[in-house]
């Protein structure tokens, strides 16, 4: 059947819109108040070039910081994906956070440092049921220091897989980060790669694995939340 002339006209804008949507990631809802504040400053300063530029720059910076890019998690069973974008800064063994009440035996721990340039949404490293959510106040040391795991303000989430394996992921506030957001509650069922929280303005994520897990990353590698495989469960 012959295509009508207006079909081509419609398909062009539609293709352009689809391209923009695929190239420009959506914004996490927590970022809209900050973006709106920047735009408000720009609007209020429309007669002053420096104020207008400052407001627009702040809105653009917050749009980048709070971006929520789509990710496709692996479908292989028994894998643990990165809960955050960032640099893998430590691969070691350490006891689980004491507030989880799971003992003091060291288990594998992978730490990821998020700079201001990384997307700051957090994703579930495994699928399963949320067995614990524990928040603890603390200090605000630089998140790339080893002491941050023990001393800084943090929020722990324990996820139990259908096979009964416990994986803990800990949001850790940093030198600039002062607000931890976690949308999970005990009893929630989650899928691997689901978005569950956010830390504002620089932070760190620790992932605690069951003993015997096979670590597949090394310090210095970069990770993508929901896609990079950190380990295989035993």
**Looking at the annotation, which residues are catalytic?**
203
**Cα 30–Cα 75–Cα 85 angle in degrees, nearest 5:** 35
Distance, CA of 51 to CA of 42 (rounded, Å): 6
- Sequence-ordered alpha helix ranges (H) in 109-213: 148-151
Q: What angle do CA 172, 176, 180 make, to 5 degrees?
A: 40
- How many angstroms separate the CA atoms of 10 and 169, rounded? 47
The tokens 């590698």 sit on which residue?
A: 221
Element (H, E) at 7: helix 5-23
Sheet of strand 166-173, all strands in order from the earlier edge strand to the far edge? 189-190, 128-136, 154-160, 166-173, 203-208, 106-114, 86-95, 222-223
Using alpha carbons, select from 35, 89, 36 the residue that is nearest to residue 222.
Answer: 89
């Amino acid at each position: 059947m012959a295509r009508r002339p207006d079909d081509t006209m419609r398909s062009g804008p539609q293709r352009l819109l689809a391209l923009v949507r695929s190239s420009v990631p959506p914004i996490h809802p927590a970022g809209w108040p900050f973006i709106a504040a920047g735009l408000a400053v720009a609007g209020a300063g429309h007669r002053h070039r420096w104020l207008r530029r400052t407001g627009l720059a702040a809105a653009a910076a917050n749009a980048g910081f709070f971006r929520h890019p789509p990710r496709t998690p692996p479908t292989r069973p028994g894998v643990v994906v990165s809960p955050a974008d960032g640099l893998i800064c430590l691969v070691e063994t350490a006891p689980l956070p004491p507030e989880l009440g799971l003992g003091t035996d060291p288990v594998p721990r992978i730490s990821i440092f998020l700079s201001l340039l990384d997307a700051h949404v957090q994703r579930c490293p495994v699928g399963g049921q949320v067995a614990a959510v524990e928040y603890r106040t603390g200090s605000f040391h630089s998140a790339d220091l080893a002491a941050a795991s023990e001393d800084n303000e943090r929020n722990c989430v324990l996820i139990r897989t259908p096979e009964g394996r416990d994986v803990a992921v800990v949001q850790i506030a940093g030198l600039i980060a002062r607000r931890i957001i976690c949308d999970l509650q005990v009893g929630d069922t989650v899928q691997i790669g689901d978005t569950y929280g956010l830390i504002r303005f620089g932070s760190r994520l620790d992932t605690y694995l069951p003993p015997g897990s096979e670590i597949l990353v090394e310090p210095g590698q970069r990770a993508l939340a929901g896609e990079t495989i950190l380990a295989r469960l035993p």
